[in-house]
Amino acid sequence: MADSGSAPEYVKFIIASTSGMGATGICYPLDVVKFRMQVSGEMGKKADHTNTLQFLKSIFKNEGFLGFYGGLSASLLRQATYTGTQSNVYEKIFFREGRPPTVFQKLICGFVGGLAGGFVGVPSDVAMTRMAVDGRLPKEQRRNYTWVGNALIRIYKEEGFKALFRGTIPTITRAIIVNIAQFVTYSQTKIFLVSYGITGDTTPCHIISSLMATLVCTIAMLPPDIAKTRIQNMRVIDGKPEYRGILDVWVKLVQKEGVLSPWKGFTPMLIRGIPMGVVLMLMYETQFRLYRWFVIEE
């Protein structure tokens, strides 16, 4: 990652947040496909479709082009809070001693950053999940949130404050795994490439590091991600929730949908993760370079 130690905290937060928002704006349709795949086959129902292409065709046919952007406003809010917070916490610890940390220290930084960012982003994450999967429901069962503000207000009024933090444990678990996998893998790959003279600290180096981080991140984060999606989207009928927690989701998934079901949505997540990871890191690195050129070196 770029050496941002000389930038004020608010600049770091803005750059991390806008990088995440820019990447999300480009790649969000594949997020919608991932969400739809993850809730497909819930409660023993037959899966809607079997692969990414079928989901893409179905969404376009039934909901049109805008169907791929259901919940985008919530996703942007999530990036503005979640990404900025987790990156800033990570960076604050990362550079606090003025020298590169060890791998163990990076793991600790990733854990703390993911914990903080995951918690801050839960309400917008709940809204995003529900909005992204709403179009697959029969019209009479849809929640029909108009934008993220409407979703948050209605969730609070209709289900109470606790509902805004539904799925907190899997959301934080996912955030910790993503933070560790993304930032640690990215920084270690970048150090390896530069140290052994394979590349310099250039755009090709950033792209290769992003690709490695995306692959590791996708494999590691999908099990808690699907648990988060199902818990956040579940309905409580007669006071009884569909799932009791993250372990209950995994047990029911494996029993009813097979041992690979915790990795539902792997293909769209990986396809989405490659450009998103590259765009996010390139925007992040570029914005800090511009900041140093036009502000610090002015």
Looking at 1.20.120.1200, 1.50.40.10, 3.20.20.70, 3.10.180.10, the CATH number of the domain 9-296 comes to 1.50.40.10
Q: State the pTM of this model.
A: 0.76
The domain locations on the chain are: 9-296
**The pLDDT value given to residue 60:** 93
Task: Give me the pLDDT at residue 297, please.
Answer: 60
User: How confident is the model at residue 42, as a pLDDT?
Assistant: 63
Contact present, 121 and 227 (Cβ < 8 Å): no
d(Cα 289, Cα 297) in Å, to the nearest integer?
A: 10
Q: Which residues of the chain have pLDDT under 70?
A: 1-6, 41-50, 90-100, 296-298
Q: Which of 227, 215, 260 is nearest to 50 (CA)?
A: 260
Give buried/exposed letters for 49-70 (b at 16+ CB in 10 A, else e): beebeebbebbeeebeeebbbb
Contact 148, 77 (CB under 8 A): yes
What percent helix, strand, coil does the chain show, rounded to 5? 80, 0, 20
So what's the pLDDT on residue 153? 97
Our measurement of the distance from residue 86's CA atom to the centroid of its chain's CA atoms, rounded to an integer in Å, reads 12
